Structure 1
Amino acid sequence: MSGLAAVLAGRHAPGVHRWESALDVADVRRAVEHAGWAFGYVDGAGLQTRAGVLHAIGDALAFGDHYGANLDALNDSLRDLPGRTVLLWDAWAGLARAEPRWFGILLEVLGERGDADPEVEVLLRGPGPEGVPLLD
């Protein structure tokens, strides 16, 4: 968990990272929340559509009924998060392989935060296409 611990402690910039960890989701949640960050979890097994992924992210981060489940709404909702947040996304490769171009745009939206926006760390856990930096 050293890479995640560095993010949580402010020694590593948050962003979108592949993460190789066998920790149970509950253990990750405890560590994240103990550090004062909010936590969301997406089980990506079987998620291979844009709409399915956007809804799963919205549910994981409790965006509420106002969330439009599109990239603009995702960007706006990430800006409205109440504070620093970690999103753990298991089995992310389905969409990455099915729609690589759109997946790349999604990662840009998830990873590009302005100075006034809350920090968001997205952990892509499990095997998948290369191109996303590894958090070790």
Structure 2
Amino acid sequence: MNIGFSWRTGAVFVLLILGFWAYQFRDLFTVYEQLKGKMSVNDELTLYITQAASSSLSKDTYRYYLYDAKKSPDDFMAHIKDVEPIMVTDDYKANAEVRDGQLDLYVRGNVYSFRNVGYSVRIHLDAALY
């Protein structure tokens, strides 16, 4: 009987150990979003606000999305990965207001991203640091 080291067995063992180790850190790479609010902008668009938490090591962010007004919040959450937010901020007190068919966003904090093109509504951002 010849007992020796098998490279295949060793490689499988190392892959199992690496997989177990990587599984422990899965929350560092996963973003969890929950719906915080919604507001009707016009007949075509609804503004959805979500709170995104990726891990206990990072700050929560708040994401603002414009989505089809004819669809439900459940449909929005089911397709959230396919929709790009118009704004991402860390300000939990950020405010949105619809006036004269325009969307006004008020932020006192960090704005990580903002875009206002490609929609049938004008978007105005009033942002300042704390």
More RCO (CA 8 Å, sep 6+): 1
Decide which structure has the larger Cα Rg and report it.
2
| Greater percentage in strand | 2
Give your verdict on TM over 0.5: no
Name the TM-score, length of structure 2 as normaliser.
Answer: 0.25
| Greater percentage in helix | 1
